[in-house]
A and B are shown apart, each in its own frame.
Chain A
Amino acid sequence: MKIIYNGEKDRAFKEVYPEVIPALCEEDPRVVYLDADLMNCIGMLKWANEHPDRAFDCGIAEANMAGIAAGLASVGFKPIIHTFGPFASRRCFDQVFLSAGYAHNDITVIGSDPGVCAALNGGTHMPFEDVALYRTIPTATIFDIADTAQLADLLKQSVNMKGVKYFRVNRKNNIKVYEPGSHFTAGKGIVTKEYGCDAVIFASGIMLGKAMEAADKLHGEGIDVTVADLFTIKPLDEELVIDLAGKCGAVVTAENHNRIGGLTSAVCECLAMNAPTPVSCVAVEDEFGEVGPQDYLEERFGLTTDRIITKVKEVIEKK
């Protein structure tokens, strides 16, 4: 594990799938890939067409896709299913909950374009609630992916993990944080910046790069914070959260999700019950999504580096 963050953009996430999924299928005859008419959006269509015994386009029928994946799992397969985040969560929630989760049929679900990453697809396609839904599935694992190194490694691991595994992943480019080939441990957060203990920022997904930028800028102003990547929202790394909150005494969460039910809720639940600590958050304030370029939407919903800086200063005042 090496952190190579310098503020530059990573390559696009959609380049990862055609590298990783075919390799997983090659290694293990039980891995299969299903999609709901969005193979072409993640670069998988060509390989899928060449491998009709390993890739199944279920058409625009996400509930059925989730159920078929559960059925395949029950006879020994390791299915990976993909669609856009709102359809991978809201649209097939009962099927993922019962046919997969409750019935112990282990599947991997990839939800593309979480939150503001849905950009020009607009509010109908903009899940600010997918983490909240998946958190209520007992035994589910939820990954909010920060960069391509993280996606590649965790996707490889996920096919052999128990339960329902949910990935929320941008298709475009995030800020690069980790060296390619890095290894990640599900359920273990990573300290990615460590200037000091004035406050700690817990971030995930597209907000991690912004949190690191905020830490650099705050350092320039004489405020020294720690940043931790909580890429596994469930199970939460409670040990790390309690430890860093205890050392810093002030917490900011940063997530591309409604503050109800996501990373903020998870961190607050953990701290309220174990180590009460002042918390402030950068998250969507219980609103529906809307259409626009991603940079516009980040400003519109307050998911910015500047807002993280403001919230850090506010929460330090509460210490």
Chain B
Amino acid sequence: MLEAAKLTELKKLSLEIRIAILEAIGSLGAGHLGGALSIADALAVLYGEIMKYDPADPGMEDRDKVVCSKGHAGPALYATLAVKGFFPYEMLKTLNRPGTHLPSHCDRLLTPGIDATTGSLGQGTSEAVGMALGDKLKGLKCRTFLFVGDGESNEGQVWEAAMFAGAKKVNNLVWLIDDNKKQLDGRTADVLPVFDFVEKFKAFGFDAVRIDGNDLEQLYEALSAEAGDKPRAIILDTVKGKGIKEIEETEFNHSLGGDEATFERWKDGLRKELEALA
């Protein structure tokens, strides 16, 4: 169980991450807001409580690693890394600018704290399996946390990687499905349904659970569970655009934007929530 004070800290962190996402994407006026906001709570729990890492030494060999295979959610990771001190907060405003260290999709060569280059959907899954396998071969105790979109799971490579991870018992891998129910062209259930994630992952040799992926306590319980002999899949039941009511209620919210005043209004709302927790 998460203590009340810890829960408050995580809630604050999740709000700070959301504000930072809006800082980054707002500096441009548009971006992949929906799928960045949906994983903000999972990132808060991972970086707030679960993971072993050192912002001063982002390449530390036995760090826990994060692979955001849904690479377009890069700004959510950048927001988290900036809040946690991997690089200056002001750098968020360079998102997608010429010469930036923060490209729209994650790049391990450019950004301190980014462990994998992703963007061509599905590819991060195999990379994460390889990283986890490598850490296991080296006898390290660290884990790899992999974010995969529900729409991304249309890609065949996702299931090749899952089959390998299950078959070879890559049990230091935690596979997080951001099941926010939407992809670019509409509802995942309409575009190309992926069927029952929990049953599929169990069939692929994983321990699999479904939780409310925007509920910090449920996230903490699921992410702090001891590893068994199988890899673990956590299906995050999330809301695309979570935390900003207008974005949540926008049907096509994969990529969207607004003027400066809109972003300020959204950030003000979050800042008020943050103050209320102080």
Contact = CB atoms under 8 A, between A and B. Distances in A.
Interface of A: 32, 53, 56, 58-59, 61, 63-77, 94-95, 98-99, 102-105
Q: Report which residue of B125, B126, B168 has the largest number of chain A beta carbons within 10 angstroms of its beta carbon.
A: B126
B133 A68 contact: yes
Contacts of A67: 123, 125-127, 129-130, 157, 161
A34 to B, nearest CB: 9
Contacts of B61: 75-76
Given A53-B137, A102-B117, A71 B163 contact: no
A256 to B, nearest CB: 30
A70 B109 contact: no
Contacts of B52: none
A99 B131 contact: no
Given A59-B163, A77-B134, A104-B109, A71 B120 contact: no
Contacts of B129: 64, 67-68, 71
A73 B133 CA distance: 11
A56 B137 CA distance: 12
A61 B166 CA distance: 14
Contacts of B123: 67, 94-95, 98-99
Contacts of B109: 103-104
Given A56-B168, A64-B164, A71 B127 contact: yes
B171 to A, nearest CB: 15
Contact of B126 (A32, A59, A77, A95): A95
A61 B276 CA distance: 52
A74 B130 CA distance: 9
Nearest to B170: A68
A95 B168 CA distance: 21
A58 B160 CA distance: 9
Q: Report which residue of B127, B134, B135 has the largest number of chain A beta carbons within 10 angstroms of its beta carbon.
A: B127
Nearest to A69: B130
Nearest to A79: B130
Interface residues of B, number: 31
B93 to A, nearest CB: 25
19 contacts: A64-B126, A64-B160, A67-B123, A68-B133, A70-B127, A71-B116, A71-B127, A71-B130, A71-B131, A71-B132, A72-B134, A75-B138, A76-B134, A94-B123, A98-B120, A99-B117, A99-B123, A102-B117, A105-B127
A74 B161 contact: no
Given A68-B126, A99-B123, 7 more contacts: A61-B164, A67-B126, A67-B129, A70-B126, A71-B132, A72-B130, A95-B123
Q: Report which residue of A58, A64, A76 has the largest number of chain B beta carbons within 10 angstroms of its beta carbon.
A: A64
A72 B129 CA distance: 8
A94 B133 CA distance: 22
Contacts of B133: 56, 68, 71-72
Interface in B113-155: 115-117, 119-120, 123, 125-135, 137-138
A61 B164 CA distance: 9
B117 A71 contact: no
Given A67-B130, A95-B123, A99-B126, A74 B115 contact: yes
A220 B123 CA distance: 56
Q: Is the interface of A mostly helix, strand, loop or mixed?
A: helix
A71 B128 contact: yes
B108 interface: yes
Interface string B96-119: 000000000001110000011101
Nearest to A52: B168
A68 B162 CA distance: 11
Contacts of B128: 71
A98 B105 CA distance: 12
A98 B119 contact: yes
Given A71-B130, A71-B133, A64 B161 contact: yes
Contacts of A59: 163-164, 167
A102 B119 CA distance: 11
Contacts of B127: 67-68, 70-71, 74, 99, 103, 105
A74 B137 CA distance: 14
Nearest to A75: B134
B71 to A, nearest CB: 10
Contacts of B134: 71-72, 74-77
B157 A63 contact: yes
A53 B126 CA distance: 18
Nearest to A98: B120
Contacts of B119: 98
B126 A66 contact: yes
A301 B70 CA distance: 45
B67 to A, nearest CB: 8
Contacts of B161: 64, 67-68
Contacts of A77: 134, 137
